[in-house]
Amino acid sequence: MTMRSLCRALLVLDVLYCCLAAAQEGLPGWHMFESVEKIDHTLVDRDGRAVDVRAFLPRGANVVDRGELRRVVEHVCSKERARAPFTYEEPGVRVVLGPECRVPR
């Protein structure tokens, strides 16, 4: 078997797997991105109004870990300084974000 035919065979197998993964719920594939668990948190501005962090993300984007969520919260704080100070809460953590907009890691 030549290298070219091996590459073609792998390409065909990959395409077939992608088609199967798109149709079959149990296989790892695109379906795994549809069921990302929500990360419990709250972000409120100085007036006590809740801030929707997802409004600052591209459409269809999901936050999948706390480190990423904290970076998004820092971005929101820096972009919306007129609404500061913000209070960020997650299980076990409550932080008032100061002028530097840093959430402790």
Q: Are residues 26 and 60 in the same domain?
A: no
Residues 62 and 13 in one domain: no
**Quick one: 4 and 27 in the same domain?**
yes
Range of the domain at 77: 38-105
The pLDDT score that the predictor gives to residue 29 is 62
pLDDT one-digit tens code per residue, 62-97: 888 899 999 999 999 999 999 999 999 999 999 999
Beta-carbon contacts of residue 75 (< 8 Å; ≥ 6 apart): 56
State how many domains the chain has. Answer: 2
Instruction: Examine the domain organization and report whether 26 and 62 are in the same domain.
Output: no
Q: Is the pLDDT of residue 21 over 90?
A: no
* Dihedral pair phi/psi, residue 38, rounded to 5°: -75, 145
Cite the DSSP H helix spans in the chain. 3-23, 66-79
